[in-house]
Amino acid sequence: QDQLQQKIICPGPVTCLTASPNGLYILAGVAESIYLWEVSNGNLLAILNRHYQDLTCLCFTDDSSHFLSGAKDCLALVWNLYSVLQAEPSQIPDPRHVWSRHSLPITDLCCGFGGPLARAATASLDQTAKLWEISSGELLLSVLFDVGIMAVTLDLSEYHMFCGGMDGSIFQVDLCAWPVQRDRTFQTERENGKIFKGHRNQVTCLSVSTDGSLLLSGSHDETVRLWDIQSKQCLKTMNHKGPVTNALIVLAPANMFNPDGKPSVPLPKFSKHLHGTESSDDQGNEGVTLRLGLHQQESGESYLEKAEKMYSQMCSTREKNLMGDQEHLTIQVSELEEEVSTLRKINKNLFDFS
């Protein structure tokens, strides 16, 4: 009985979608373009065209400072969100890093913890999964499998990388294995104890629980499976009526089981045009708009202008109260001087007596 809260029309079929962890921004991949919206007012802040083929995956760092994009053109790009927001609408900002070591389309991205110092994993149809350092852009590890990799994720402690294959297998790669090698081959017959077997078709998504004990996987065989990582046993199988494209373990929100829980603020309509280039007809948005910058070209005072005016009024009032008229001030000064001289006499008498 769930009611559709709002239908947001996008410029084309959306191939991937993600929200920033702080809840302020939405990223969508439409063909080879990345669209960036601000959630609070629905403004389209940027359209990034640096990929040459359709987007396949998008992912934010845990502090929302950077985001990663992967596409069928074999490229993974790292973007600094601040640089994207600061760029002029006429110019396309440059990504911070361009990772071009894959030879076939990228299928999945995963970002670890640490903000701009985090590590990111990429999966590709070229039968490799690679681990990168976001800060330097360096390639840390490349693992070669005998099937194309469709999904990748890291556990919370980043001891293991889990890779889902086209044949339904899920591989567990130990990141702390010795000796340390940048190029590694996952040999199925030797690493048999590190493979989850059960899916009958390609694995499309992977998610690890917060305590690192459970793995959730979705597949085109129309099932979602929950695995015990230690024993590699399937604990639960959930059947669906079609191929599973996404599954995720999340912490339950506080109001999840409250039937009356509804969003207190209505979500504005997402704009189809870049912010600053909308026609005047689109300005009649419902809801409250709080403008925190002086860069808007719209008529009317901005929030900062009103705040400055109020502050100047407060200062002038305070000065009047402090200064008063001149006569009142001289009377106050003479009274205070008399009080000071009286206190000095008392102090001198006390000192002489002691």
Residue ranges per domain, the chain? 8-100, 104-251
Q: Which residues contact 36 (CB under 8 A, 6 or more apart)?
A: 25, 26, 27, 44, 45, 46, 47, 48, 84
Mean pLDDT of 136-141: 94
Region 305-329 average pLDDT:
69
pLDDT band at 84 (very low <50, low <70, confident <90, very high): very high
DSSP 310: H
The answer on pLDDT for 284 being more than 50 is no
pLDDT bracket for residue 348 (50, 70, 90): confident
Domain range 104-251, CATH architecture: 7 Propeller (2.130)
CA–CA distance from 41 to each of 85, 192, 231, 286 (Å)? 15, 51, 48, 10
pLDDT > 80? residue 137: yes
pLDDT of residue 135: 93
User: Given pLDDT bands bounded at 50, 70 and 90, which one contains residue 281?
Assistant: very low
Condensed to tens digits (0 to 9), the pLDDT of residues 202-227 reads 999 999 999 999 999 999 999 999 99
* % of the chain beyond a pLDDT of 90: 56
Higher pLDDT, 253 or 203: 203
As a whole number of angstroms, the distance between CA 54 and CA 64 comes to 23
Work out the average pLDDT over 124-134. Answer: 95
Mean predicted lDDT score pLDDT of the chain:
85
Between residues 12 and 106, the one the model is more confident about: 106
Q: Name the token pair of 279.
A: 């026609």
Q: What pLDDT, on the 0 to 100 scale, is given for residue 149?
A: 96
pLDDT at position 267 is 80
- For range 17-32, the mean pLDDT: 93
Of 223 and 179, which is predicted with more confidence?
A: 223
Question: Rounded to two decimals, what is the model's pTM?
Answer: 0.74
Question: How confident is the model at residue 190, as a pLDDT?
Answer: 76
Task: Summarize pLDDT for 103-114 with one digit per residue, the tens.
Answer: 999 999 999 999
Q: Kindly tell me if the per-residue pLDDT of 278 is higher than 70.
A: no
Fold assignment, 8-100 = Lipocalin (2.40.128)
Give dist(CA 168, CA 227) in Å, integer.
14
CA 267, 269, 275: angle at the middle one, nearest 5?
115
The least confident of 115-119, 184-188, 308-312 is 308-312
Of the ranges 72-81, 236-245, 285-294, which one carries the lowest mean pLDDT score? 285-294
What sign has the CA pseudo-torsion 43, 46, 52, 57?
Answer: negative
Task: Please state, in angstroms and rounded to a whole number, the distance separating the CA atoms of residues 154 and 129.
Answer: 12
Composition of the chain by helix, strand, coil, percent to 5: 20, 30, 50
Name the pLDDT band for 282 (thresholds 50, 70, 90): very low
Is the pLDDT at 133 greater than 80? The verdict is yes
Mean pLDDT along residues 95-107: 94
**CA-based nearest residue to 215, from 175, 169, 184:** 169
